[in-house]
Structure 1
């Protein structure tokens, strides 16, 4: 008696396809759940850092008030909420300083299962540099860009015969609107290296984007600085150098990846040749 095996094989194939679809769906939901956990951790650290920032806001405020150009100025409160708003701005900047390394670590932990052990060890080294680059960006923005912008605006006010009466909220909002974007821009080399490590970007792609990147850097430089050529050049050039540094470090990471891939292919080739013999 002949047995119809085609129907049985077809049923097995259907069951296999169904199982693969279910496993793929489960894997997708597991990844989303893992990402959700990482985002919650980052948000929790940001909230706790804000609490710590509120405790450190007063000494940070007094330290900045003892520096130029605000040292001999008299700041005013134009609203009952101005003092609270000032504390919140300081708390947010301090919280960013604490949260950025944690955010990099959480991102690394999320992509860690897809990396080789050597890549895991290399990638985790990026985390401490996140805070260092943020501090460097903060220093550049505070000691270079902010004095130029403040000097330009006060010169214009005096030329117009305006009496300078500054509110504490307006002064620190003006300051932080310069400090925070520039500080985050200084994370660019680290972000590019990280994306190169994950094989999302390559130096070749970054070179093709160089003109667009230069335009964006110059646009950012002219936006956050006074509208004069000298200030634009003084800010735009470091931002362009920052992009070139990102490209340079991306090339180093990419070359190491290519060398490891080549060594791995040679190793597999030798194993295959030994297996054939």
Structure 2
């Protein structure tokens, strides 16, 4: 296969693009694996101090969640008597939990590098001024992702664990949660929130390719509100105060996305006007 250096810039074939994408994916996967191996080595700290932390009554979030819930006239989050145990029912259950948790840790901590490899793949197809205006892409997307992960871990996960651990249908039923179920809840809370917080970045690219406009986002704001409430209801316990607490940051992100979309449209109009001026001036 001919290499990229034998062709003028911008004339890579489809197979060349696939080859380039393959190496970007390989490097991103390798970063996740390396971090995952380190996470597996330090699994005792990760499980005892991070993964299982929301199951402890003295977890830092519960005191603040109780005060916030009381503002809304609810007591959800104030009962921190964690009357449950986490158990393993399969031979390879704990080993499997350690492996998948290490991979999840590798993905979360390696997210900036994954975004960096993605950016290296798409950057050559952008205009020079677009690359200049998007220098902070890696930092902003990583910051939003980590902010979402922390939001999910310190807010959604403890709210869900506290509600499900204290909910009962009778005194005869004891809560004995399987380790895969518990870790799955923590993982879903953190990763889903991290990806939801990428909304401004997604809107940025959708605006760039013309799929959305600020007018479209403003027009369907009320429908977005309904969707946000539905998402909040799905990823949180059925408590109105919890849903309000979770939905507020998402609504703020939506409004920020409208601002970003309007900025992109403005920049695109300015670029087209400048190109037209150069053509007519020539």
Distance 1:98 1:143, change over 3 A: closer
Q: 1:57 aligns with which of 38, 43, 61?
A: 43
Contact preservation (8 Å) 2:35, 2:110 = yes
Higher-RCO chain (CA-CA 8 Å, sequence separation at least 6): 2
Distance 1:27 1:199, change over 3 A: farther
Provide the secondary structure at the position in 1 that maps to 2:89: coil
Q: Which runs of 5+ in 1 are unaligned?
A: 1-24, 273-277
Contact preservation (8 Å) 2:54, 2:161 = no
CA RMSD across the alignment? 2.8
Residue 227 (1) aligns with residue 238 (2): yes
- How far off its partner does 1:201 sit? 4.0
The one-character-per-residue Cα deviations of 1:126-168 (angstroms, maximum 9, x if unpaired) are 11222221221111112221222122212322x5222233343
Distance 1:46 1:64, change over 3 A: closer
- How far off its partner does 1:212 sit? 4.7
In structure 2, the partner of 1:160 is: 170
More helix as a share of residues: 1
In structure 2, the partner of 1:27 is: 13
Residues in 1 aligned to 2:188 and 2:51: alpha-carbon distance in whole angstroms: 17
Residues in 1 aligned to 2:54 and 2:26: alpha-carbon distance in whole angstroms: 39
Q: Which runs of 5+ in 2 are unaligned?
A: 1-10, 58-81
In structure 1, the partner of 2:252 is: 241
Residues in 2 aligned to 1:81 and 1:179: alpha-carbon distance in whole angstroms: 24
- How far off its partner does 1:199 sit? 5.1
Q: 2:29 aligns with which of 17, 40, 43?
A: 43
Q: 2:143 aligns with which of 128, 132, 142?
A: 132
The one-character-per-residue Cα deviations of 1:25-61 (angstroms, maximum 9, x if unpaired) are 9733333333333333333333333223323432221
Contact preservation (8 Å) 1:145, 1:225 = yes
Contact preservation (8 Å) 2:51, 2:186 = no
Residues in 2 aligned to 1:216 and 1:151: alpha-carbon distance in whole angstroms: 25
Structure 2 length normalisation: TM-score?
Answer: 0.75
The one-character-per-residue Cα deviations of 1:211-232 (angstroms, maximum 9, x if unpaired) are 5543432222111111232222
Provide the secondary structure at the position in 2 that maps to 1:124: coil
The structure having more radius of gyration, on CA atoms, is: 1
In structure 2, the partner of 1:181 is: 192
Provide the secondary structure at the position in 1 that maps to 2:134: helix
Residues in 2 aligned to 1:209 and 1:29: alpha-carbon distance in whole angstroms: 40
In structure 1, the partner of 2:79 is: none
In structure 1, the partner of 2:124 is: 113
Residues in 2 aligned to 1:85 and 1:246: alpha-carbon distance in whole angstroms: 38
Q: Which moved more, 1:176-185 or 1:49-58?
A: 49-58
Q: 2:105 aligns with which of 78, 90, 94?
A: 94
Query: When the two structures are aligned, how many residues end up with a matched partner?
Result: 247
Residue 257 (1) aligns with residue 243 (2): no
Provide the secondary structure at the position in 1 that maps to 2:167: helix
Q: 1:69 aligns with which of 47, 51, 55?
A: 55
Contact preservation (8 Å) 1:192, 1:250 = yes
